[in-house]
Structure 1
């Protein structure tokens, strides 16, 4: 049995990763999506185990200490990370896996022994910096301090685009999702999908 492929979707905060991912999952129902763990509070409408695994600070620290996270990052006062075991199990079973993580986490996956070198890193880019700023402010889910932190981080994250194997520009959610599906079902390194 062939081993599954690991895809990593990343990009700046507010670029629409979660929204595009919802469309990708409709287009590729067989693709296994890894649910991240976080210490942040659940937002209205979110479901534990679907949007995130919501865990305590102590539980998250235990996952780090025991090496059970493929990647992890501290951002805007909370921890985020990808549980390692389910990812490795699915890949070993021949299933493709998609991670939706921040740029810092994508770098950790790329450096992970055994997994990183084979991972396909995809950068989801905004059509412009102004549009990204509008999306971040327009969410209405975060306080001004968190928005300011996300805007500052987004500028740094945009500079990381050349570190990725592919770029998809999120001008339109449906076309971005179709571009991702195209990359995951057969692609060449270095392509840029509008």
Structure 2
């Protein structure tokens, strides 16, 4: 094991399939590989569908944040998101940690996690719109706002994964990057 692991920070527009790409890479990961996938703490009901996350009330989220139990937090689309402090222990033990992050918290994540590698997952806008509509969590207005926010420039040092084909292919791209380090 290495002395300290690296954070792989997945970002990209809503509907790009970040959680799906992470899940597929995790399924393909060899047993014993020094890679862990962090879950997020979110002020969204677990039954809302999509990613497997830990549901917290706004009050509980704020209490945990006030006590320093998150390595990283941000707000987006009216919700609170957090990455638990447990990732620090995993990194110290030499594990790489894959995190579903936020573009809005990218600079904070860079300052928090030395050597962090951004991974941008994208898809064509028409595909994003279809995926957002099918997941059924947002109104048409909310989807339009998410699509408008999908336009941005990727960081120069990012690994880019275009998730517009077979999910196995996108998962293998991420897994290949994880295994090269």
TM-score range, shorter chain: 0.7 to 0.9
Whole-angstrom CA distance in 2 between matches of 1:81 and 1:163: 25
Deviations 1:148-188 (CA, angstroms, capped at 9, x unpaired): 33223223xxx14135421111122111111111111116x
- Name the structure 2 match of 1:94: 94
Query: Residue 76 of structure 1 contacts residue 149 of structure 1 at CA under 8 Å; is this kept in 2?
Result: no
- Name the structure 1 match of 2:180: 186
- For residue 142 of structure 1, give the secondary structure of its aligned residue in structure 2: coil
What's the TM-score, normalizing by structure 1? 0.81
2:118 equivalent to 1:121:
yes
Whole-angstrom CA distance in 2 between matches of 1:26 and 1:166: 20
Provide structure 1 residue ranges, at least 5 long, that are not aligned to the other structure. 188-194
Whole-angstrom CA distance in 2 between matches of 1:169 and 1:148: 21
Provide structure 2 residue ranges, at least 5 long, that are not aligned to the other structure. none
Whole-angstrom CA distance in 2 between matches of 1:175 and 1:99: 19
- Name the structure 1 match of 2:158: 165
- For residue 83 of structure 2, give the secondary structure of its aligned residue in structure 1: strand
Query: Residue 12 of structure 1 contacts residue 102 of structure 1 at CA under 8 Å; is this kept in 2?
Result: no
- For residue 3 of structure 1, give the secondary structure of its aligned residue in structure 2: coil
- 1:164/1:138 CA distance change after superposition, 3 Å: farther
Whole-angstrom CA distance in 2 between matches of 1:10 and 1:64: 22
What's the TM-score, normalizing by structure 2? 0.86
Give the count of matched residue pairs.
176
Q: CA RMSD in A?
A: 2.1
Deviations 1:97-141 (CA, angstroms, capped at 9, x unpaired): 1101221233321122xx2x3111111111x22222222223223
Greater RCO structure (CA 8 Å; 6+ sep): 2
What are the within-5 Å matches in structure 2 for residues 45-60 of structure 1? 51-60=52-61
- Name the structure 2 match of 1:21: 22
